[in-house]
Structure 1
C-alpha cells in the first residue's frame, strides 16, 4: 500500500454543472438494465464502468465521469432494482457481481477501468478478484467491505428490520412517508459531510430521482433485500470458505485506488485502509471533512486521484501529465 498520487488541479477547469448523462436500456441476462453514457472528449480514451451504492443510481457518477471524459469513455449502470433498471431475481453481492460481469462480457468493452462506491465497491472487489481479465484498474470509494461493529454505521439501526415479519411493507411505508424533499435532505445528511458542497441543481435532481423511486413498487423490496445481502456477505467474510470478500480482495492484481472520507457515517473509517492493505497493488487516499460519497462531494479531488492512477499505469494517453505527490486528510 502507498499514498495515492494526484494529477494537477488545472486539468479540470471550472465550468457549468452538467445534467445527468443520457441513458438507454440494455438487456443483460434477460433484465432491462439502464446504462448512462459519458462519451470521451479526446482520442485515446479507454473504457470505464461506474457502479453505484445501496439506494443510489448511475446519476451518482455524473460529475466524476464528466471530469474524466478526456481520459475515459465512461458508462454507469443502474443495478437491478435501482434507478431505472428492472427488478432483479436476487440481490446478493455475488448476484450483482455476476450481472456486472455479464454486462462487460456482452458489451465487449472489457477490460475496463472499474469504479465502485459503497455497495458498488464491494461488488467491484468481487468482479476484479474473480475476473481479472475484465479489469484495467480498480477505484473503490468508501467500499462497503465487511466489518463487525454495527454501531459504526447509521445503517446499523436497520438490522432489527431483518427479523421483523412484513419488513418490506414497513420499509415501503417509511420510504414513502416523507416528502421527496425531506427524504433527499436525510440522504444527503447521512452521506455527505458538508451538504453546502452539493449545488442546487444536484439537490433538485436528487429530489426528482426520489419521486421516481416512489412510483416503483419494487424499490422497497429491492432495498431491503440488498441490505440483507450486504449483512450476509459481512457474516460470510469471517467464516471459512472461498466466498469471503476479504479473501477475494487478496486475489486482485489490478492497480487499485482506495478513497475514503474521514467523516463517513455509513462505513467504518477503518475499513478502507484495511482494503488497501489487503489488495497487493494499492494506493490510499483518506480525505478529511468528507463523507461517504466523495465522488459527489469533492469530485475534482477524486478525479485528480483517478488521473494520478491512470498516469502511473500509463493509461489513456490523451491529455495526460505527470501526477503530483498524494496527500491525506485534505478535501
Structure 2
C-alpha cells in the first residue's frame, strides 16, 4: 500500500492511499473531523481501491473558506476530482460528509458512481439532544473562549461521547480536530442545518439515479437510529444497521464497516472477506 499527501490548489488537503491504478474511492469526513477519521478503515480499503481522502474547508489541514455552504464544499471536492481526471467515482461520506457527497451527486452527477452514507442524519428532526460538553463548547458567549482552550483530553472525550463502544482515537485525528476554529465549526454546522431545511436527504436521493448504501449505528446517540429507515423509500438504496455501534462506525466497527462498503462496491466473489473486528 502506498500513501502520500498533497496540498491541493483548490484549497483542500488530499491524502491518497493504495495503488493509483486501482479503482478510486473518495472518502468525505463529517463536521469538524478530517480525512484522518477514516484511518482505521484505510488498510482494508486501500488493499482494493485507490483511496482518496479530502479535508473539507477549515478542517484538518485545509484552510478556512469564505463559505461553508454544502454546495460550496461539494464544488471544491468536484474540483479535486476534475483535476485527477476521475468520473463515476464511488463516494462515501460520514455524518455531514454525506451531505457533501449527496450535493456532489446533485450538482455533478457525472462524477459520482455510487453513494455510501455512514451515520448521515436524514433530516433535522432526527437529531437527538447533544451531550452537554459539546453544547457548552459551541454556545456563545463563552463557547469561543472554551473552544480555544480545548485540550487533547477534551477532544478525545468529545469524540468518545458520540460512540457507544470503547474506541482508540487516532492521534492525527485529535491533532486535526484541534485545528478547526470556532468560527469555522459554527459555519459548518449552520450550513448543514440550512441544507437539511431545504430538503431532506432521502428526498434528495430519490431524485438521483445512483446506487445508495446507508450504514447506521443501531445505538447512534447523535441521530435517532430509527430515522435510518427513512432511507428505505429511496429507490436503489440499501440500509444496513450495525448493532451496538454509535455515531462513528469507522472507529467503533472498522472491520464491519469496511466489509459492507467493499461488498457494496464489488461483487462478493471479487471482494475477499474483511475482519469484522473493530
Using structure 1 for the length normalisation, give the TM-score: 0.74
Q: Aligned to 1:82, which of 56, 59, 65?
A: 59
Mark the runs of 5 or more structure 1 residues left unpaired by the alignment.
Answer: 1-17, 238-243, 325-329
User: 1:88 offset after TM fit, Å?
Assistant: 0.9
User: 1:90 offset after TM fit, Å?
Assistant: 0.7
Q: 1:70 to 1:206 in 2, by over 3 A?
A: closer
Counterpart of 2:216 in structure 1 is: 260
Counterpart of 2:259 in structure 1 is: 304
5 Å-filtered alignment, 1:29-44, equals: 32-40=11-19
Counterpart of 2:233 in structure 1 is: 278
Tell me, yes or no, if the aligned pair for 1:146 and 1:233 is still in contact at 8 Å: no
Residue 154 in structure 1 maps to residue 130 in structure 2: yes
Tell me, yes or no, if the aligned pair for 2:32 and 2:177 is still in contact at 8 Å: no
Counterpart of 2:188 in structure 1 is: 226
Counterpart-to-counterpart distance in 2, 1:56 and 1:255 = 26
Q: 1:73 to 1:256 in 2, by over 3 A?
A: same
* CA deviation vs aligned residue, 1:291-315 (integer Å, no higher than 9, x gap): 1111221111011111221234x9x
Pair member with larger Rg: 1
User: 1:114 offset after TM fit, Å?
Assistant: 0.5
Give the root-mean-square deviation of aligned CA atoms: 3.0
Counterpart-to-counterpart distance in 1, 2:144 and 2:18 = 36
- Relative contact order (alpha carbons < 8 A, sep ≥ 6): 1 or 2 greater? 1
Residue 181 in structure 1 maps to residue 153 in structure 2: yes
SS of 1:145's equivalent?
Answer: coil
Tell me, yes or no, if the aligned pair for 2:136 and 2:143 is still in contact at 8 Å: no
Tell me, yes or no, if the aligned pair for 1:254 and 1:281 is still in contact at 8 Å: yes
Counterpart of 2:143 in structure 1 is: 171
Mark the runs of 5 or more structure 2 residues left unpaired by the alignment.
Answer: none
Using structure 2 for the length normalisation, give the TM-score: 0.87
User: 1:203 offset after TM fit, Å?
Assistant: 4.3
Residues paired across the two proteins, number: 276
